[in-house]
Chain A
């Protein structure tokens, strides 16, 4: 079972280490983890995607809540959230595949944000499945470097009001 944990934490040094350490020590999975400051500079939001059986999922939330630096934990399913991931992908291109690459980017809603004679950087910001899809579409050409942010997610507005 996949769950998204949206965790507000004190924006202090060492907190990321404590939270990540909790996951490794208790053998919880981390599928992805993204951290950034919020509108309140003393608070950061960690978005952690994890999976496990029901007991593990409950334990993750409880253990997170137990951490003194954790302010609030929200757990939700993927469909109940708006989730996005950013990916940058540097590829080698040539005359023969340039058009194909550009077409694929257009279909997938990806942008070409940097270019040289032989290489280009493609950027996509989309749900994780579509990011994965773009990677598989590009498998045929030569990927030089790739960077992903991990999933960011917020609970959908209507779900939150309920």
Chain B
């Protein structure tokens, strides 16, 4: 047995089903060893998308996504994908091949200091110097990636270490790390304090972030919210923590969120931030959020508490455990009047759109689409205007809403949707992107075809980098710079080149029928929707 065999054995021990990647000489021993395993390899068309696909898989399955690429440019190409996962706390194990360890530091062909380069985007990284360390390192890496504040872990393996003989393989049963013991259970004294504040509050509000989904606390949150009648808003990463149509859910907050959600944040006298970073997009002026209200900040990462917002009652722990523990406290909330106020806000503060009837209205289209989607469907939004429309008008039932929230990486939706579909082959998976973000990942149409991944793709086409155009519209008085997307391929011809069923929707007439046909069979379809180039999200 050699190091590369040991890596494969480690992945098997972790029940890994898919490895997304791209080979090169420095990772060839690994890709040779994996031939003897049942683990399926997916040849992605550019390394960044290997991390995005692994991210989509991780988010839908709750397991760790794995990708493996070669040294040098393979590894550096992966960095944006790693950074995207890091910003959204998605658990990944990223394996990179590396040049011979004796040559490290001499700038040989395809050598890149990837552990150094990726340092600020990983939860932890390893450079393996001894093949005997492989089992321990992989055990630790999977544990680190998927516990506490989740995130990507990088393992850089020089080719000679992959080829080095190993006498005996034994996968450790436990991790033994003296420096890493994340707090999962909340401190009971703090929990009692929060319960007391809740019983005192007249206008309590929960703001659910991505942490709720990462700790699989959706059920606990919904139960808690219903039992005590506490209304909920969410950040972009928290979309799907509550069903959109839940009477206690009042939309996404932030500068791209719903006015009534922001009003709810503003008016609340007790705000429970759960698994949310309170970053600039969700809360415009984090330092004033605590004015006139008590803030309780619940997060598994103590460093997030007090990082962006002022004084709060800190509660460190996993969201699911904390909701469950809070329910063991005896208290009640009288929120009927508050909920009535918020319901009134929701009815009266709906944003008004004036769609151009010659085109598809993205808002109405996305609403119709999500109504027609299956109960547990996965909707993957890309980045740009499409993302904001998706956040605003997609209706989550019991499914998932995935997007790149923290980093805002264009091109995320197609590879992430592929990962999601592989993780849950029976679920309907729809990727929604713009014509800019589509072109950042359209090479993956080949991957979809090669591996038969039935992802449905919608391109909201407006011939512009719409989000930037909108910014230039407001900030530079329509002086457009480098946002014109003319020259884009004919999507119908492109679809035919990849043997993909193609559909086009030019305006809202016939939208229902198009959507029905688009969703009908479990197969890949490319649907082009023509959007008014001058349409705005705000």
Interface residues of A (CB under 8 A from B): 10, 14, 17-18, 21, 25, 55, 58-59, 62-63, 65-66, 68-71
Is B348 part of the binding interface, using a Cβ–Cβ cutoff of 8 Å?
Answer: no
Known A21-B119, A58-B306; 15 more pairs at CB < 8 Å: A10-B179, A14-B127, A17-B116, A17-B119, A59-B306, A62-B302, A62-B303, A63-B303, A65-B302, A66-B301, A66-B302, A66-B303, A68-B124, A68-B144, A68-B180
Name which of A17, A21, A55 has the most chain B CB atoms within 10 A of its CB. A55
Q: In the complex the two chains form, is B120's CB within 8 Å of A25's CB?
A: yes
Is B170 part of the binding interface, using a Cβ–Cβ cutoff of 8 Å?
Answer: no
- Which residues of the other chain, B, contact A59 by a CB distance below 8 angstroms? 303, 306-307
Q: Which residue of B lies closest to A72 (CB)?
A: B179
Q: Which residue of B lies closest to A21 (CB)?
A: B119
Q: How far apart are B113's CB and chain A's nearest CB, in angstroms? A: 10
Name which of A62, A65, A69, A71 has the most chain B CB atoms within 10 A of its CB. A62
Q: How far, in angstroms, from A17 to B127 measured CA to CA in the complex? A: 14
Q: Beta-carbon contacts of B106-135 to A below 8 Å, as 1s and 0s?
A: 000000000110011001100100000000
From A14, A17, A69, give the contact of B179 (CB < 8 A): A69
- Which residues of the other chain, B, contact A62 by a CB distance below 8 angstroms? 302-303, 306-307
Cross-chain pairs A/B with CB under 8 angstroms, 30 sampled: A10-B179, A14-B115, A14-B127, A17-B116, A17-B119, A18-B119, A21-B119, A21-B120, A25-B120, A55-B306, A58-B306, A59-B306, A59-B307, A62-B302, A62-B303, A62-B306, A62-B307, A63-B303, A65-B303, A66-B149, A66-B302, A66-B303, A68-B123, A68-B124, A68-B177, A68-B179, A69-B179, A70-B179, A71-B178, A71-B179
Name which of A55, A66, A70, A71 has the most chain B CB atoms within 10 A of its CB. A66
Q: How far apart are A39's CB and chain B's nearest CB, in angstroms? A: 16
Q: Which residue of A lies closest to B123 (CB)?
A: A68
Q: How far, in angstroms, from A139 to B178 measured CA to CA in the complex? A: 48
- Which residues of the other chain, A, contact B179 by a CB distance below 8 angstroms? 10, 68-71
Interface residues of B (CB under 8 A from A): 115-116, 119-120, 123-124, 127, 144, 149, 177-180, 301-303, 306-307
Q: How far, in angstroms, from A120 to B370 measured CA to CA in the complex? A: 81
- Which residues of the other chain, A, contact B307 by a CB distance below 8 angstroms? 59, 62
- Which residues of the other chain, B, contact A25 by a CB distance below 8 angstroms? 120
- Which residues of the other chain, A, contact B116 by a CB distance below 8 angstroms? 17
Q: How far apart are B239's CB and chain A's nearest CB, in angstroms? A: 27
Q: How far, in angstroms, from A158 to B440 measured CA to CA in the complex? A: 62
Q: How far apart are A41's CB and chain B's nearest CB, in angstroms? A: 15
Q: How far apart are B438's CB and chain A's nearest CB, in angstroms? A: 33
Q: How far apart are B172's CB and chain A's nearest CB, in angstroms? A: 17
Q: How far, in angstroms, from A63 to B119 measured CA to CA in the complex? A: 14
Q: Which residue of A lies closest to B178 (CB)?
A: A71
Q: How far, in angstroms, from A69 to B307 measured CA to CA in the complex? A: 21
Q: How far apart are B34's CB and chain A's nearest CB, in angstroms? A: 27
Q: How far, in angstroms, from A18 to B116 measured CA to CA in the complex? A: 9
Q: Which residue of B lies closest to A71 (CB)?
A: B179
Q: How far apart are A125's CB and chain B's nearest CB, in angstroms? A: 32
Q: Which residue of A lies closest to B116 (CB)?
A: A17
Q: How far, in angstroms, from A21 to B119 measured CA to CA in the complex? A: 8
Q: How far apart are B457's CB and chain A's nearest CB, in angstroms? A: 36
Q: How far apart are B301's CB and chain A's nearest CB, in angstroms? A: 7
- Which residues of the other chain, A, contact B127 by a CB distance below 8 angstroms? 14
- Which residues of the other chain, A, contact B144 by a CB distance below 8 angstroms? 68
- Which residues of the other chain, B, contact A14 by a CB distance below 8 angstroms? 115, 127
Q: How far, in angstroms, from A25 to B121 measured CA to CA in the complex? A: 11
Q: How far, in angstroms, from A26 to B307 measured CA to CA in the complex? A: 11
Q: Which residue of A lies closest to B120 (CB)?
A: A25
Q: How far apart are A123's CB and chain B's nearest CB, in angstroms? A: 35
- Which residues of the other chain, B, contact A58 by a CB distance below 8 angstroms? 306
- Which residues of the other chain, B, contact A65 by a CB distance below 8 angstroms? 302-303
- Which residues of the other chain, B, contact A17 by a CB distance below 8 angstroms? 116, 119
Q: Which residue of A lies closest to B306 (CB)?
A: A58
Q: Which residue of A lies closest to B144 (CB)?
A: A68
Q: How far, in angstroms, from A10 to B126 measured CA to CA in the complex? A: 14
Q: How far, in angstroms, from A58 to B303 measured CA to CA in the complex? A: 9
Q: How far apart are A60's CB and chain B's nearest CB, in angstroms? A: 10
Q: How far apart are A65's CB and chain B's nearest CB, in angstroms? A: 7
Q: Which residue of A lies closest to B305 (CB)?
A: A62
Q: How far, in angstroms, from A65 to B178 measured CA to CA in the complex? A: 12
Q: Which residue of B lies closest to A9 (CB)?
A: B179
Q: Which residue of A lies closest to B124 (CB)?
A: A68
Q: Which residue of B lies closest to A24 (CB)?
A: B120
- Which residues of the other chain, B, contact A69 by a CB distance below 8 angstroms? 179
- Which residues of the other chain, A, contact B149 by a CB distance below 8 angstroms? 66
